[in-house]
Amino acid sequence: MSNLNSGQRVYDPRGAVEAEARPIAARVSALKGLKVGVLDNTKWNGRRFLEKTLSLLAAEEGLGEVTFYKKESFSKNAAPELIGQIAAASDVVITAIGD
């Protein structure tokens, strides 16, 4: 916040974000035969986008078993239990947003 000569207060809308740095997961070299978990976040076009993406990947890569999961709401984080279930049952996970 700063004050102008006119006495008006001006707030910096950018704010500050504090986040802990975490390493990203190791990338697989190929998807052929891997168990794919798909997390649908329940956005209006999210499922359609995911299905098209899977179709393209299957044609190019040859996917293994594909299992769909659904979040309770796009405005909430997925439940830790759901994340654990997906991680335990999948080699790779795909999720996306779409409006």
For residue range 50-90, list pLDDT tens digits in order: 999 999 999 998 899 999 999 989 889 999 999 999 999 99
Domains contained in the chain, number: 1
Instruction: Say if 99 falls within a structural domain.
Output: yes
Reported as a single tens digit per residue, the pLDDT across 2-42 is 777 888 888 878 878 888 999 988 889 999 999 999 999 99
Domain assignment present for 15: no
Overall pTM surpassing 0.85 (yes/no): no
Distance between alpha carbon 70 and the CA centroid of its chain, in Å?
12
Looking at residue 32, what is its pLDDT? 93
pLDDT, mean over the chain: 90
Is 41 contained in some domain? yes
Flag whether 19 is in a domain: no
The boundaries of the domain holding residue 55 are 30-99
Helix or strand holding residue 10 (H, E): strand 9-10
Rg (the chain; Cα; Å):
20
- Closest residue by Cα to residue 68 from 98, 37, 32, 41: 37
CA nearest neighbour of 78 among 67, 90, 70: 70
Within the chain, residue ranges assigned H as helices are 46-61, 80-89
